[in-house]
Structure 1
Amino acid sequence: MEEYLQVVPSELEIIKQDVEKKNSELEKKIELLEEEKMHLRLDVDVQKLEAEKLKKGKNKVEEDLDSLKTDYKKLRVSMRTAGLGKTSEQWRREI
């Protein structure tokens, strides 16, 4: 007779198994989310570095442009002082 008896888990044991299964699934999801969070932080760090690099490059270009403008103004003044800034029409009148 004992051969035909089955062990039937109690309702509490079934609920406990379900909870443990859900807990395991949630732990896996948490691990995946934490890994994704880490990757997103790395992406943000990379983007911040790229933005900083672009900003420095922009500042350098602006400084170079300002320097070129200053040099151009100095050159124009030097040319006027030396008489080299005249147009061909002005040279003809002078000759």
Structure 2
Amino acid sequence: MPRSHGYRRGSRQLMKKKAEEKGMRPPTYLLHDYKIGDKVLIKINPTYHKGMPHSRYHGKIATVTGSRGRAYILKVRNMDKVKDIIVRPEHMVPCGEE
């Protein structure tokens, strides 16, 4: 059987929560209002599938450049290029908090 090349390929350990982390996070993280120029850490939360960035961006520092609906537009460095990605706040943490 040929190997699959899906969007979530190779993310078995990355998209897994520990037993103590299972369930919903408290809603306070959704109340954080990000402004243009804020630095954020992209931390994928596998509980929510909407607005999830590609797994290659997990753990990267990004800059908020705008908003689009409930999501934010982030400028993140990928290898030698700067990319714009659209991410919802469930997958972002303010830089310095973890």
TM-score range, shorter chain: under 0.3
Higher relative contact order (CA 8 A, sep 6+): 2
Bigger CA radius of gyration: 1
Higher helix share: 1
Structure in which a larger fraction of residues adopt strand: 2
Q: TM-score, normalised by structure 2?
A: 0.16
TM-score (norm 1): 0.16
